[in-house]
């Protein structure tokens, strides 16, 4: 879904979050964001090629996480690509993340180094 052979699909964006938070979002219809998202005024998302850095920097040592994928077009004009870590453009969502727009939800086991392990073929 997010890859075609070995090519990353840039039209898919991802959110890493605790599974419990995602279940609450599904029940409520949308994910309002984490404390970091609220602080920054937008929901932090990542492209596939940014996930390794995001998982390592922000989610090391955390278990019970999921990786939720969305089609960028389904998020509409509230999705803005802005310079962030190292000047790279990251997808930022300036609205709640609609649970019904998710195209997949995948568990993220923790590796021996404490970093969440991404599903094969994602990054």
Q: What's the predicted TM-score (pTM) here? A: 0.89
pLDDT at position 10 is 62
User: Is residue 97 a contact partner of residue 53, using CB atoms and an 8 Å limit?
Assistant: no
Question: What's the CA gap between 59 and 81, in Å, rounded?
Answer: 22
pLDDT at position 85 is 74
pLDDT at position 94 is 98
For residues 19-31, give the mean pLDDT: 98
Count of other CB atoms within 10 angstroms of residue 106: 14
Query: What number of residues does the chain have?
Result: 123
pLDDT at position 84 is 83
Nearest to 44 by CA among 81, 71, 18: 81
User: Is residue 93 a contact partner of residue 79, using CB atoms and an 8 Å limit?
Assistant: yes
- Give the position of tokens 């404490």: 114
């Amino acid at each position: 879904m997010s890859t075609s052979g070995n090519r990353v699909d840039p039209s898919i964006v991802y959110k890493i979050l605790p599974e419990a938070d995602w279940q609450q979002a599904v029940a409520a219809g949308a994910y309002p964001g984490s404390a970091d998202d609220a602080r920054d005024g937008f929901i932090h998302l990542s492209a596939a090629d940014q996930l390794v850095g995001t998982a390592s920097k922000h989610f090391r040592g955390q278990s019970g996480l999921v990786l939720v994928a969305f089609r960028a077009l389904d998020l509409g004009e509230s999705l803005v690509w802005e310079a962030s870590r190292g000047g790279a453009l990251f997808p930022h969502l300036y609205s709640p993340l609609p649970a019904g727009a998710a195209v997949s939800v995948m568990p993220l086991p923790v590796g021996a180094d404490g970093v969440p392990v991404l599903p094969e073929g994602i990054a």
